[in-house]
Amino acid sequence: MTHQTKGHSRQDTALIHGLSASEVQRLSETCIEAKGRAYCPYSHFRVGCSLLLTNGTVVQGANVENAAYPVATCAERVTVATAVVQGAKKGDIRAIAVATDISPPASPCGMCRQFLREFCELEMPVLMYDKDGKSTFMTLGQLLPMSFGPEKLLSTE
């Protein structure tokens, strides 16, 4: 089915409330394109990411590794941090998409889910694309249930 090789099936799109088919298409194309920007000589595991802001802007990122493995950063964190530095506030991110070279699609690691938690609504959809552009999605709240967020710390100040 041609729709699937373009990164989403018709029924997936229907489920991702709030995103139009063309917005999903834009996210799929930009996260897959971002895979080509990964610096991953150690894992050879490319990850591309893109997010859509409420103002219509798309921000892209990719994983950037380091000889000291823990010093590396994931695609999702590069992308969200770039958006924040450009002025995105809590709630400005409508959706985020991630693409890898495996199938089924890889999900964001726990560290990135936590990073997203700081800036995104729990209902925000996270789209995940496999090596062929086929996708699945979950909301952030589904990926990080009973999460530890800013209100735990900031309420005590």
Note the residues at the interface with Zn ion (CB under 5 A): 74, 109, 111-112
Q: Which of 23, 29, 65, 76 is catalytic?
A: 76
**Residue 79 — φ and ψ, nearest 5°?**
-65, -50
Q: Is residue 122 part of the contact set for its own copies (CB under 8 A)?
A: no
Which one, of 140, 134, 74, lies nearest residue 104 by Cα? 134
Which range binds its own copies by CB under 8 A, 7-15, 24-32, 50-58, 101-109?
A: 101-109
Note whether 139 binds its own copies by CB under 8 A. no
- Asked if residue 55 binds its own copies (CB under 8 A), the reply is no
**Helical axes 110-117 vs 75-85, angle rounded to 10°:** 20
The token pair at 110 is: 């726990």
- Rg of the Cα atoms in the chain: 15
DSSP E strand stretches across 12-151? 48-53, 58-62, 93-99, 125-129, 135-139
15 binds its own copies (CB under 8 A): no
Among 77, 95, 99, 129, binds its own copies (CB under 8 A): 77
Q: Which helix (H) or strand (E) holds 72?
A: none
Q: Which does 14 bind (CB under 5 to 8 A by kind): Zn ion, its own copies, none?
A: none
118 is catalytic: no
Q: Contact positions toward its own copies, by CB under 8 A? A: 34, 37, 39, 41-43, 45, 60-62, 64-74, 77-78, 80-82, 84-87, 102, 106-115, 117-118, 138, 142-150, 152-154, 156
